[in-house]
Amino acid sequence: MTHQANPKYSTIARPYALAAFDYAKSKKEIAAWKSFLESAAFMARQTAVQTLFDNPKVSSAQLFDLFQEILAPLMNVERHNFLQLLAQNKRFILLPDIENLFNAYYAALEKISTATVITAISVTEAYKLKLAQALTKRTQREVTLQCEIDPALIGGAIVHIGGKVIDGSVRGKLTRLLENSLR
């Protein structure tokens, strides 16, 4: 069973992510916890580790030891206890979701939004900067871009931000033109 971040696990992961975030915020350790969770989630996404999650012969204690050993440079007492809690509850598989939720709480705190920008071809850094500035002005939040390429768009771009979609693609314009001509 391959597990990337998965919305169906978000409900289960939410209390862990919120507890970690609240603790990190109260101790002014958000950066350290982000780094720890990023590394732990990366590890949990590895096929070899996922195979261990699915193996009934591998105990939670063995998984804990593995994570503890590999993440040792990032560990402190609280992160040790966090991993121990995940092990006791057999929740290591939730690490990608916990990381995503933690990052979402951080983004909300810092008023940062991520925009997914889909274009037909690769775009220049100058274009990305200009688009990020325009979206920052429009949303009143700092915007980071996650860029994807979809040649089927023909040209232009589609932007997903904050639950909204801005479709400036040629494909979208042609579709709207066709729909309007059929009315």
Q: What is the CATH number of the domain that holds 157?
A: 3.40.30
DSSP category for residue 116: E
Q: Does residue 28 carry a pLDDT above 80?
A: yes
Number of domains within the chain: 2
Q: In the listed set 70, 89, 107, which residue is the last one of a domain according to the structure?
A: 107
pTM of the predicted structure, to 2 decimals = 0.69
- Domain, as residue range, for 172: 111-181
Q: Tell whether 19 and 95 lie within a shared domain.
A: yes
Instruction: Collect all residues with Cβ–Cβ distance below 8 Å to 129 and sequence separation of at least 6.
Output: none
Q: What percent of the chain has pLDDT over 90?
A: 72
Q: How many residues does the chain have?
A: 183
Task: Let me know if residue 152 belongs to a domain.
Answer: yes
Quick check: 27 pLDDT over 70? yes
Last residue of a domain, one of 53, 83, 107: 107
For residues 55 and 84, membership in a common domain is answered with yes
CA distances for 101 relative to 5, 15, 27, 93, 168, angstroms: 10, 10, 19, 14, 30
**Least confident interval from 27-36, 121-130, 172-181:** 172-181
pLDDT for the residue 1: 43
Burial class of residue 68 in the structure, from the number of CB atoms within 10 Å of its CB (0-12 exposed, 13-18 middle, 19+ buried): middle
Judge whether 1 lies within some domain: no
Judge if 96 and 128 occupy the same domain: no
pLDDT number for residue 5: 59
Please say if the pLDDT value at position 162 is more than 50: yes
Q: Give the pLDDT band of residue 21 (cuts 50, 70, 90).
A: very high
Does position 58 have pLDDT exceeding 50, yes or no? yes
Q: Which CATH number is 52's domain given?
A: 1.10.520.20
Q: Are residues 43 and 75 in the same domain?
A: yes
